[in-house]
């Protein structure tokens, strides 16, 4: 696993030499994210860990869910997520995964499987990839944990969440995921997504995994909201 991780990192480093990157936020040449823009990112303090609660999922075992995000969803990190999702800046997944790995370790989470939140087949065809996989694969390699995207699938297409309220988002994704019991039963699952505003997608995915018999679900996203009061004004513009 360690050798594979080094090869993976080396692949992206080689691409940076062949095709010099530009900062995803400001366009500064030579950086995926330049030092000045990195300083503007509001990284999460470990003490702001979001506690499990009954409102997060519908499963009776929803207390077996913990979640956290790496940085506040604003400014530079929002530009990076947009570049990752829509501008085919695929290297950003590998770029941010070390910070996400450090956060997982700081939370004292021990996972058996790393699983990206799946996109619908239609959206994968349109975009060409699932941005959550670009974060989850290098994260799994860094943690030395098995990467297994096939254990959770999205079983129905859902309209875009952009512009929907928190309650509408939960309704939109309710029952949209299915997990394979033979693969997740009794396992500690680390779900990975790019951004969480209202937690609706993570909640629906966690519910599917727990319903299939998982023992514990950890959720990590690249970005989220420390101040939940800001969500209502931001979800309309979420990428």
Residue 22 burial (CB < 10 Å; 0-12/13-18/19+)? middle
Share of the chain above pLDDT 90, in %: 59
Mean pLDDT of 54-62: 58
Of 220, 223, 198, nearest to 107 by C-alpha is 220
Instruction: Give residue 11's pLDDT.
Output: 62
Residue 239 pLDDT class (50, 70, 90 cuts): very low
Residue 169 pLDDT class (50, 70, 90 cuts): low
Share of the chain above pLDDT 70, in %: 74
Of 55, 109, 123, 128, nearest to 217 by C-alpha is 109
Looking at the predicted structure, is the pLDDT value of residue 5 above 90?
Answer: no
Instruction: Give residue 175's pLDDT.
Output: 76
Looking at the predicted structure, is the pLDDT value of residue 118 above 90?
Answer: yes
CA distances to 3, 95, 104, 114, 142 from 146, rounded to whole Å, are 14, 20, 15, 6, 10
Mean pLDDT of 117-129: 89
Of 171, 86, 80, nearest to 123 by C-alpha is 86
Looking at the predicted structure, is the pLDDT value of residue 52 above 80?
Answer: no
Provide the mean pLDDT of the chain: 83
Looking at the predicted structure, is the pLDDT value of residue 64 above 90?
Answer: no
Residue 210 pLDDT class (50, 70, 90 cuts): very high
User: Is 111:151 a contact under the CB 8 Å cutoff?
Assistant: no
Query: Which residue matches tokens 């009061």?
Result: 229
| 34 vs 13, more confident | 34
Buried b (16+ CB within 10 A) or exposed e, 43-65: ebeeeeebebeeebbbbebbebb
pTM: 0.84
What residues are paired with 72 via a beta bridge? 224
């Amino acid at each position: 696993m360690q050798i594979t991780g080094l090869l993976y990192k080396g692949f992206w480093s080689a691409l940076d030499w062949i095709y010099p990157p530009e900062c995803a936020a400001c366009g500064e040449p030579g950086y995926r994210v330049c030092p000045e823009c990195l300083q503007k990112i509001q990284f999460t303090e470990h003490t702001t860990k979001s506690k499990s609660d009954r409102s997060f999922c519908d499963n009776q075992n929803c207390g077996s869910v913990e979640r956290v995000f790496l940085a506040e969803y604003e400014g530079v990190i929002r530009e990076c997520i947009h570049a990752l999702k829509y501008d085919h800046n695929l290297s950003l997944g590998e770029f941010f995964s070390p910070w996400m790995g450090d956060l997982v370790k700081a939370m004292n989470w021990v996972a058996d499987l790393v699983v990206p939140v799946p996109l619908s087949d239609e959206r994968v065809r349109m975009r060409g990839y699932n941005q959550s996989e670009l974060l989850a694969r290098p994260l799994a390699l860094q943690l030395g944990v098995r990467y297994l995207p096939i254990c959770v699938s999205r079983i129905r297409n859902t309209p875009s969440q952009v512009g929907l309220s928190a309650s509408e988002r939960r309704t939109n994704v309710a029952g949209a995921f299915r997990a394979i019991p033979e693969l997740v039963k009794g396992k500690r699952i680390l779900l990975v997504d790019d951004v969480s505003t209202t937690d609706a997608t993570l909640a629906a995915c966690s519910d599917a995994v727990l319903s299939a018999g998982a023992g514990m679900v950890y959720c990590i996203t690249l970005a989220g909201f420390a101040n939940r009061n800001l969500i209502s004004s931001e979800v309309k513009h979420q990428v």
